[in-house]
Chain A
């Protein structure tokens, strides 16, 4: 069975500093990987996805993620965070049977 681990429950970062959120997955085949963001009281919004090809993928809001097969990781990064980036971030792994598995999420707090 596939699984997703987000080791960091909560990260606090200063505005303007860089951010990296970790995601590790367990899956037997090539996974479909996603990062979603959830702002308070909102649904989840897709930041970026990886299906195949270039292992560095660019997403919305200045985010990027790098797929590393050897480490089973798909870490999310942003060079300079804004106060509006404070939210809950979810990594997810999918396969072809419509079942998307989500990690437990990482809460990002941005301090001024």
Chain B
């Protein structure tokens, strides 16, 4: 009965590869997000979708491409992975703009 689930939990890959992270929420929320947590645990928003429409794109390199096939799913595809992409990526959802976020358990991406 996980509310926000993301897969995989761990992802280890080499520089230059392309990888995807998937996220699904069963809360019926309208808005979904991707956050990046760096090695110092700082959280920064990357993208947000509201009802499948992109509403936030925070100066993220265009190697990162989110896709929302429906409002319950938000995937993140990353092309040409770089060492600096190593981080924990969190998916989250909320009902509206000022409702609390519900987070997934994160995907730890390691680029070697």
Residues on B with C-beta less than 8 A from A41 are 105-106
* In the assembled complex, B100 has its CB within 8 A of some CB on chain A: yes
* Contact call B50/A49, Cβ cutoff below 8 A: no
Of the residues B48, B98, B102, B106, contact of A94 by C-beta under 8 Å: B98
CB nearest neighbor in B for A43: B103
Cα A3 to Cα B41 with chains together (Å): 16
The DSSP consensus for interface residues of chain B is strand
* In the assembled complex, A96 has its CB within 8 A of some CB on chain B: yes
Minimum Cβ distance to chain A for residue B41 (Å): 5
With A51-B98, A96-B97 given, is the CB distance from A104 to B41 under 8 Å?
yes
- Number of B interface residues at 8 Å Cβ cutoff, please give it: 25
- Number of A interface residues at 8 Å Cβ cutoff, please give it: 24
Minimum Cβ distance to chain A for residue B22 (Å): 15
Cα A108 to Cα B97 with chains together (Å): 29
Minimum Cβ distance to chain B for residue A31 (Å): 10
What string of 1s and 0s marks CB contacts (under 8 Å) between B69-112 and chain A?
00000000000000000000010101001101111111000000
* In the assembled complex, B68 has its CB within 8 A of some CB on chain A: no
* Contact call A100/B101, Cβ cutoff below 8 A: yes
CB nearest neighbor in A for B48: A98
* Contact call A102/B105, Cβ cutoff below 8 A: no
With A98-B50, A98-B55, A99-B56 given, is the CB distance from A42 to B101 under 8 Å?
no
Which chain B residues have a beta carbon within 8 Å of chain A's beta carbons?
4, 31, 33, 40-45, 48, 50, 55-56, 90, 92, 94, 97-98, 100-106
* 10 sample A-B contacts, Cβ–Cβ < 8 Å, listed by A number: A43-B104, A44-B92, A45-B103, A46-B101, A49-B100, A90-B43, A98-B50, A99-B56, A100-B45, A102-B43
